[in-house]
């Protein structure tokens, strides 16, 4: 009989007490047991069970039960969508079945001994977007649970979520640790490593190393006792093709401008009869399939790597990646998680933008880069892809065993290797606090005023089209910098004029009426094309980069200018900006290229924007001496402080060995910026700052104080930048700037900055 006096309200209170208890409790299993017993009692259910999702195996695992066979704990496992529990988890909504075994998805687990329970009610356990598991109650009587029960279970599941979420991390950690070699100890000084935040976020996962200099095949363990047939090989090929197509599709949703060409190369090799055909011939002649895959791959790797052409050389990685995928599908079977990096934290010595994209497509949790600078372009890309990234100058990290659990706290730059349970709980509560703070700070106003009412403009830096959404959500007043080279970086061929046109149209249409500034290609430096020969340069940052590259490759430059002019036809506030301008001559030459393209479009009777604003990006200190003349000939200006600092101080922004010399607080940097701002204001020309300094809390009042009225930052920083600006009056900001400008030494500026940051309560920003 169904009782009507269920005390759901009391239940909720008890559960929240349990949640608090868990923090102090060591034994997670007993916590779960108490929870299921409590829920079963209050719901008058015969059975209550908790299933948790295991990120590593991608399965739901029975963690505790009251009513089913206790020995089934840890044994019953199901995939997403499998059985009623898997279905609830997949659909993310309650499932209330009065006659469970009649449901088409019902699956019988003999371990559970659950035959007599007809009524089944399951609710997903969710915390925000995180899917934690499923809470289930069952009863012998048919049609036992009603709508009130569903509501109560939902409430319980949400209360349980926090506690269970923590516990799940611990369990996950125990499982991860169990998989490690027993004799392995992490050296003490590697247990906590501090690095620089390149892209914010949190992650807890197993680590895997990614070394593009090493063959991907090395790390795949092959059981010598296993025999594989030609049929297994064919199945592995088919599975590989299906996975690549799926990846390509998933990626094109996320990154429309890339058109997912990364995987095209893989697919093309796969379809090349010589590649798979040679493997097949070897297998037919008696060579075991894993060996055949390795031999043919090795042959192609040698062939490609000896080529003088960078594009062909690059194919080495494609062949290795592809062969690794086929081999994993062969030895692990298609059912098994075939991607080495999926759900992992990747530790790498160096990465190209295309590597970051590939990893992102495999849903990695985070990146630890053992080398590189935070303003390097892979960092900007990681930020746009919302992958936490920390740069840590500790090469030993590359040698921790595969699968070691690692926490990345990419809010403060902390890396915990093989963390204790205690650290996991602390990390979890920090994550919650940060997430809460972030939600609060996302309350942005559409206009920005200083405390005394001066109007300041906040624009967005856009790297990928998908940043646009966040920019609009956080009320950017336009785009101050679109890094147009990004779509070029991760493709295996240049985007055509038409493809560029489509991308630029999306930018103009996405910010109607507002400023949209497209910076022409800034290729070269650390943004190298796979299909160019520039890789051979000894000093690419001082080489054929940015406007120099565009001048050298006129057709690429003209195609881009035409695409911008055409896409901007109906835009009200279109702007073209040239990177790395070092002289008036260069600026004039670049402007002339725009006028020539306009004439060409007019001749062809194609519609285009006839009066775009044309500006210079100030990055090369040489222009400081001719700044008045450059301002006079520009419609607007922007300062790229990342490169301005790099070139003024002769310090490679992407080299971690010299990162301590990358000092935006150098007196020459500060005075240079002040001089540029003064010149722009004297001629009433708009000047913005679009480098990383623009979002650094301690520099914002300085920039305001020297007269900068436009800040262009990665969208995520808009709320915090606005908040700081609103807290200052213009005269306070001027005093702030004057104090810094008065300092003659690095030490003096640093001390003044520390003092002023304290007085004004300004904390260091995170990447």
Active site amino acids? 377, 690
Comparing CB distances to ligand PEP, the nearer of 411 and 522 is 522
Residues 604-623 that bind ligand PEP (CB under 6 A): 619
d(CA 308, CA 529): 15
What's 434-477 look like in SS3? HHHHHHHHCCCCCCEECCCCCEEEEEEEECCCCHHHHHHHCCCC
Among 483, 545, 695, 766, binds ligand PEP (CB under 6 A): 483
Comparing CB distances to Mg ion, the nearer of 206 and 641 is 641
Exposure pattern of 387-420 as b/e (b: 16+ CB <10 Å)? bbbbbbbbeebeebeebbbbbbbbbebbbbbbbe
Collect all residues with Cβ–Cβ distance below 8 Å to 382 and sequence separation of at least 6. 198, 199, 356, 367, 388, 389
Minimal distance, residue 692 CB to ligand PEP, in Å: 7
Comparing CB distances to Mg ion, the nearer of 640 and 701 is 640
d(CA 460, CA 480): 6
404 binds, among Mg ion, ligand PEP, none (CB under 5 to 8 A by kind): none
End-to-end alpha carbon distance in the chain: 59
d(CA 580, CA 640): 9
Comparing CB distances to ligand PEP, the nearer of 361 and 642 is 642
What angle is formed at CA 579 by the lines to CA 574 and CA 581, rounded to 5 degrees? 115
Minimal distance, residue 765 CB to ligand PEP, in Å: 15
Binding of residue 545 to ligand PEP (CB under 6 A): no
- Only one of the segments 192-200, 433-441, 622-630, 636-644 lies at the binding site for ligand PEP (rule: CB under 6 A); that segment is 636-644
691 binds, among ligand PEP, Mg ion, none (CB under 5 to 8 A by kind): ligand PEP
d(CA 241, CA 40): 47
- Only one of the segments 496-504, 506-514, 567-575, 637-645 lies at the binding site for ligand PEP (rule: CB under 6 A); that segment is 637-645
From residue 341, give the alpha-carbon distance in Å to each of 203, 215, 302, 325, 348.
14, 15, 25, 11, 12
d(CA 73, CA 49): 9
- Only one of the segments 359-367, 552-560, 638-646, 755-763 lies at the binding site for ligand PEP (rule: CB under 6 A); that segment is 638-646
d(CA 249, CA 232): 26
Question: Which DSSP string corresponds to 692-754?
Answer: GGGG-TTTHHHHHHTT--EEEE-GGGHHHHHHHHHT--HHHHHHHHHHHHT--SHHHHHHHHH
Exposure pattern of 337-350 as b/e (b: 16+ CB <10 Å)? ebbbbbbbbbbbbb
Q: Please report where in the chains the tokens 């009863």 appear, as a residue.
A: 139
Q: What are phi and psi of 297, to 5 degrees?
A: -60, -45
- Only one of the segments 185-193, 426-434, 439-447, 636-644 lies at the binding site for Mg ion (rule: CB under 5 A); that segment is 636-644
Comparing CB distances to ligand PEP, the nearer of 344 and 545 is 545
d(CA 417, CA 204): 10
Comparing CB distances to Mg ion, the nearer of 609 and 695 is 695
In terms of DSSP bridges, do strands 196-199 and 389-391 run parallel, antiparallel, or are they unpaired? antiparallel
Q: Which residues pair with 138 in a beta bridge?
A: 47, 120
483 binds, among Mg ion, ligand PEP, none (CB under 5 to 8 A by kind): ligand PEP
Comparing CB distances to ligand PEP, the nearer of 294 and 483 is 483
Instruction: Give me 305's structure tokens.
Output: 């790597």
Minimal distance, residue 640 CB to Mg ion, in Å: 4
Tell me the site size for Mg ion, rule CB under 5 A: 3
- Only one of the segments 240-248, 491-499, 634-642, 673-681 lies at the binding site for ligand PEP (rule: CB under 6 A); that segment is 634-642
Window 690-729: contact mask with ligand PEP (x via CB under 6 A): xx--------------------------------------
Secondary structure class of 78 (helix, strand, coil): strand
The count of C-alpha atoms lying within 13 angstroms of the C-alpha of 730, restricted to the half-sphere facing its C-beta, is 10
- Only one of the segments 385-393, 640-648, 658-666, 723-731 lies at the binding site for ligand PEP (rule: CB under 6 A); that segment is 640-648
Among 206, 641, 709, 722, binds ligand PEP (CB under 6 A): 641
> How far is it between the farthest Cα atoms of the chain?
91
Minimal distance, residue 557 CB to Mg ion, in Å: 17
Using an 8 Å Cβ cutoff, are 402 and 208 in contact? yes
Minimal distance, residue 621 CB to ligand PEP, in Å: 12
Comparing CB distances to Mg ion, the nearer of 320 and 379 is 379
Minimal distance, residue 477 CB to Mg ion, in Å: 22
Binding of residue 643 to ligand PEP (CB under 6 A): yes
Binding of residue 318 to Mg ion (CB under 5 A): no
Minimal distance, residue 664 CB to Mg ion, in Å: 14
Nearest to 174 by CA among 427, 340, 426, 420: 420
Nearest to 153 by CA among 138, 141, 135: 135
- Only one of the segments 248-256, 350-358, 547-555, 639-647 lies at the binding site for ligand PEP (rule: CB under 6 A); that segment is 639-647
641 binds, among ligand PEP, Mg ion, none (CB under 5 to 8 A by kind): ligand PEP
Collect all residues with Cβ–Cβ distance below 8 Å to 659 and sequence separation of at least 6. 196, 373, 374
Minimal distance, residue 593 CB to Mg ion, in Å: 20
Minimal distance, residue 692 CB to Mg ion, in Å: 10
d(CA 61, CA 55): 11
- Only one of the segments 31-39, 351-359, 635-643, 697-705 lies at the binding site for ligand PEP (rule: CB under 6 A); that segment is 635-643
Minimal distance, residue 654 CB to ligand PEP, in Å: 10
220 binds, among Mg ion, ligand PEP, none (CB under 5 to 8 A by kind): none
Comparing CB distances to ligand PEP, the nearer of 204 and 669 is 669
Collect all residues with Cβ–Cβ distance below 8 Å to 187 and sequence separation of at least 6. 396
d(CA 609, CA 588): 19
690 binds, among Mg ion, ligand PEP, none (CB under 5 to 8 A by kind): ligand PEP
Minimal distance, residue 375 CB to Mg ion, in Å: 9
Comparing CB distances to ligand PEP, the nearer of 136 and 694 is 694
Among 640, 664, 705, 715, binds Mg ion (CB under 5 A): 640
Window 498-527: contact mask with ligand PEP (x via CB under 6 A): ------------------------x-----
Among 257, 643, 692, 696, binds Mg ion (CB under 5 A): 643
Minimal distance, residue 503 CB to ligand PEP, in Å: 17
Comparing CB distances to ligand PEP, the nearer of 106 and 551 is 551
Among 289, 405, 640, 664, binds ligand PEP (CB under 6 A): 640
315 binds, among ligand PEP, Mg ion, none (CB under 5 to 8 A by kind): none
Comparing CB distances to ligand PEP, the nearer of 276 and 380 is 380
Among 119, 159, 199, 642, binds ligand PEP (CB under 6 A): 642
From residue 586, give the alpha-carbon distance in Å to each of 271, 550, 560, 562, 673.
46, 11, 18, 19, 21
Tell me the site size for ligand PEP, rule CB under 6 A: 10
Minimal distance, residue 615 CB to ligand PEP, in Å: 13
Neighbours of 4 (CB within 10 A): 7
Using an 8 Å Cβ cutoff, are 552 and 593 in contact? no
Using an 8 Å Cβ cutoff, are 318 and 265 in contact? yes
Binding site for ligand PEP (CB under 6 A): 481, 483, 522, 619, 640-643, 690-691
Binding site for Mg ion (CB under 5 A): 619, 640, 643
């Amino acid at each position: 009989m169904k009782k009507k006096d269920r005390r759901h309200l009391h239940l909720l209170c008890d559960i929240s007490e349990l949640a608090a208890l868990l923090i102090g409790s060591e034994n997670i299993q007993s916590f779960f047991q108490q929870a299921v017993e409590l829920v079963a009692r209050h719901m008058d259910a015969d059975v209550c069970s908790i299933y948790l999702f295991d990120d590593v195996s991608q399965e739901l695992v029975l963690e505790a039960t009251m009513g089913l066979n206790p020995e089934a704990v840890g044994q019953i496992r199901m995939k997403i969508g499998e059985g009623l529990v898997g279905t609830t988890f997949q659909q993310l909504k309650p499932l209330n079945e009065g006659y469970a075994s009649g449901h088409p998805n019902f699956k019988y687990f003999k371990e559970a001994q659950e035959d007599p329970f007809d009524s089944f009610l399951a609710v997903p356990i969710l915390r925000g977007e995180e899917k934690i598991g499923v809470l289930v109650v069952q009863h012998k009587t048919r049609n036992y649970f009603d709508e009130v029960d569903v509501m109560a279970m939902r409430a319980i599941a949400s209360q349980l979520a926090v506690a269970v979420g923590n516990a799940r991390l611990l369990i996950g950690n125990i499982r991860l640790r169990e998989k490690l070699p027993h004799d392995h100890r992490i050296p003490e000084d590697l247990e906590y490593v501090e690095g620089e935040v390149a892209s914010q976020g949190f992650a807890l996962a197993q680590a895997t190393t990614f070394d593009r200099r090493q063959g991907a095949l090395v790390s795949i363990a092959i059981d010598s006792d296993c025999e594989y047939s030609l049929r297994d090989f064919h199945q592995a090929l088919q599975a590989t093709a299906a996975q690549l197509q799926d990846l390509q599709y998933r990626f094109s949703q996320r990154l429309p401008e890339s058109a997912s060409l990364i995987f095209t190369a893989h697919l093309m090799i796969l379809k090349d009869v010589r590649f798979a055909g040679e493997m097949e011939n070897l297998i037919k002649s008696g060579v075991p399939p894993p060996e055949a895959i390795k031999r043919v791959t090795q042959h192609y790797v040698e062939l490609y790597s000896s080529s003088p052409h960078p594009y062909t050389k690059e194919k080495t990685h494609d062949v290795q990646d592809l062969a690794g995928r086929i081999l994993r599908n062969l030895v692990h079977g298609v059912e098994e998680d075939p991607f080495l990096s999926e759900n992992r934290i990747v530790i790498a010595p160096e990465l190209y933008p295309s590597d970051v994209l590939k990893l992102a497509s495999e849903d990695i949790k985070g990146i630890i880069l053992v080398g590189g600078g935070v303003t390097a372009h892979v960092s900007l890309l990681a930020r746009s892809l919302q992958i936490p990234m920390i740069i840590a100058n500790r090469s030993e990290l590359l040698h921790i065993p595969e699968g070691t659990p690692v926490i990345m706290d990419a809010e403060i730059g902390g890396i915990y290797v093989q963390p204790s349970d205690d650290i996991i709980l602390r990390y979890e509560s920090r994550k919650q606090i940060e997430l809460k703070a972030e939600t609060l700070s996302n309350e942005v106003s559409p206009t920005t005023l200083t405390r005394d009412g001066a109007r300041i403009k906040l624009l967005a830096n856009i790297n990928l089209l998908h940043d646009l959404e966040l920019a609009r959500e956080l009320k950017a007043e336009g785009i101050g910098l679109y890094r147009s080279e990004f779509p070029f970086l991760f493709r295996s061929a240049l985007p055509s004029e038409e493809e560029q046109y489509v991308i630029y149209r999306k930018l103009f249409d996405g910010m109607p009426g507002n400023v949209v500034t497209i910076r022409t290609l800034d290729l070269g430096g650390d943004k190298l094309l796979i299909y160019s020969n520039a890789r051979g340069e000894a000093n690419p940052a001082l080489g054929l980069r940015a406007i120099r590259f565009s001048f050298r490759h006129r057709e690429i430059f003209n195609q881009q200018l035409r695409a911008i002019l055409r896409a901007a036809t109906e835009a009200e506030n279109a702007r073209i900006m040239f990177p790395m301008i070092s002289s008036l001559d260069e600026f004039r030459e670049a402007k002339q290229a725009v006028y020539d393209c306009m004439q060409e479009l007019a001749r062809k009777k194609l519609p285009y924007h006839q009066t775009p604003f044309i500006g210079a990006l100030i990055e090369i200190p040489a222009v400081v001496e001719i700044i008045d003349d450059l301002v006079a000939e520009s419609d607007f200006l922007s300062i790229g402080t990342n490169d301005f600092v790099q070139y003024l101080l002769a310090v490679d922004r992407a080299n971690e060995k010299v990162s301590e010399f990358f000092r935006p607080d150098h007196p020459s940097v500060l005075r240079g910026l002040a001089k540029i701002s003064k010149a722009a204001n004297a001629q009433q020309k708009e000047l913005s700052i679009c480098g990383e300094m623009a979002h650094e809390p301690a520099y914002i009042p300085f920039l305001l104080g020297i007269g900068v009225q436009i800040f262009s930052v990665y969208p995520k920083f808009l709320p915090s930048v606005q908040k700081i600006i609103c807290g200052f009056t213009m005269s306070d900001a001027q005093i702030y700037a004057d104090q810094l400008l008065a300092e003659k030494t690095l030490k003096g500026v640093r001390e003044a900055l520390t003092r002023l940051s304290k007085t004004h309560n300004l904390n260091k920003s995170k990447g």
